[in-house]
Each structure stands twice: as structure tokens, then as C-alpha cells.
Amino acid sequence: MSERNKPRFATLWLDGCSGCHMSFLDMDEWLLDLAGQVEVVYSPLVDTKAFPENVDITLIEGGVASHEDIEKLLKIRARTKTLIAFGDCAVTANVPAMRNPFGLEAVMKQVYLDSDAIQPQVPNLIVPQLLDRVVPVHRIVKVDVYIPGCPPSARTIKAVVGELLAGRQPDVMALTRFGA
């Protein structure tokens, strides 16, 4: 099958620990099957610089913590048919949202000013402007499929992606649960 006829597949890493992508890599030899079934058009796992148009499936790891994250999500939602909240941080905000109860200002002060840095200062260049609160993906854009788990197991990811590629709606809650 030519690359043009294959479903176009992407993954995105927002504010997570990359553990969900590591679990994705744990699919081991099924990655070869997947590579034969899809065209990987964007991912931190491949060398692509811009998110393209007309993507069929996008897995999104991580919570939404910055204005830059929102911009990315809006663009990706507009360009993706089936958008998947991939892992507990994407589904609930989970670990990155642990800063929420303290407030952004106090967290920045603790990290950048009260630490033992040689020149304590809050960065205002290069670092994306943070949101006051970290939120899950569905608070910003419509999500089509949720895969809970911290991280979701490779078996779960394989089952969900496999069902979608077969044109079926996966029964995700039969496969995993939060924190699994």
C-alpha cells in the first residue's frame, strides 16, 4: 500500500513525563506492524517539525499548562479526525495539576527564587507563558477517545489503536483504569 493510502498517525507530548510515550514504545514488535499500517506524520519519536493537515489519529500525552499548549491543541484538533487523550495527565491533568492548589505565583517563587540557584530570577524569555491552572485536554478541545492509565499499558494502547484502525470504536474501560 502506498503511504498516501495509509491512515495518517501522530502523537504529541504536552505536559507529561513522557512515560506514556515510553509505554507506546513498549508495544515492541507491534510497532513494526503499526509502521506498516499507518503513515507517522508527526511525533516526538520522529523527525518532523510541523503538525500537518488531514491527520486521522492523534494521541496526546500530558496536561495543558501553557498558552503555547492551547495554541498547539487548537491547531491539532482542527487537523485531526480522531483525537485521543492519552494517559491520566491528558484525561484529568493528573501530575502536572499538582501545582494547582498552590497557585502559579507561589510555585514560580519556590522553583526560581527560593531555590539555591546562583542568580535567582523568574524566566520571562523562551519559557512558554504558563496558565494559572493546568487543565485536562477536554477542557480546551473536544476529545474523541480517552485512554486512562499512568501510563496506559502497551497492551491497552495496542488494543485501542488497533480497534480504531479496524474501523471499530474501542471499549476502553474494559481495557484499563485510572492509574493502571
Residues in region 105-144 near ligand SF4 by CB under 6 A: none
Does residue 69 bind ligand SF4 (CB under 6 A)? no
Of these, 150, 161, 172, 175, which contacts ligand SF4 (CB under 6 A)?
150
Nearest approach, Cβ of 8 to ligand SF4 (angstroms)? 23
Site string for ligand SF4, 18-57 (x = CB under 6 A): -xx-------------------------------------
Does residue 170 bind ligand SF4 (CB under 6 A)? no
Of these, 42, 76, 88, 170, which contacts ligand SF4 (CB under 6 A)?
88
How many residues bind ligand SF4 (CB under 6 A)? The answer is: 13
Q: What gap in Å lies between CA 180 and CA 5, rounded to an integer? A: 35
Nearest to 16 by CA among 53, 59, 78: 59
Does residue 14 bind ligand SF4 (CB under 6 A)? no
- Opening angle at CA 161, ends 29 and 10, nearest 5: 90
> In Å, how far are 52, 54, 83, 87 from 146, measured between CA atoms?
23, 21, 9, 8
Long-range contacts for 24-29 (Cβ within 8 Å, ≥24 apart)?
A: 24/59, 24/154, 24/157, 26/153, 26/154, 27/154, 27/157, 27/158, 28/154
Cell of 142: 473536544
Helices (H), 42-116: 67-79, 88-92, 104-108
Does residue 95 bind ligand SF4 (CB under 6 A)? yes
Of these, 17, 104, 111, 165, which contacts ligand SF4 (CB under 6 A)?
17
> In Å, how far are 4, 135, 176 from 101, measured between CA atoms?
47, 13, 28
Nearest approach, Cβ of 20 to ligand SF4 (angstroms)? 4
Q: Which stretch binds ligand SF4 (CB under 6 A): 27-35, 89-97, 108-116, 134-142?
A: 89-97
Of these, 10, 70, 89, 131, which contacts ligand SF4 (CB under 6 A)?
89
Which amino acid does the sequence have at 146?
Answer: Y
What residues line the site for ligand SF4 (CB under 6 A)? Answer: 16-17, 19-20, 61-62, 87-89, 94-95, 150-151
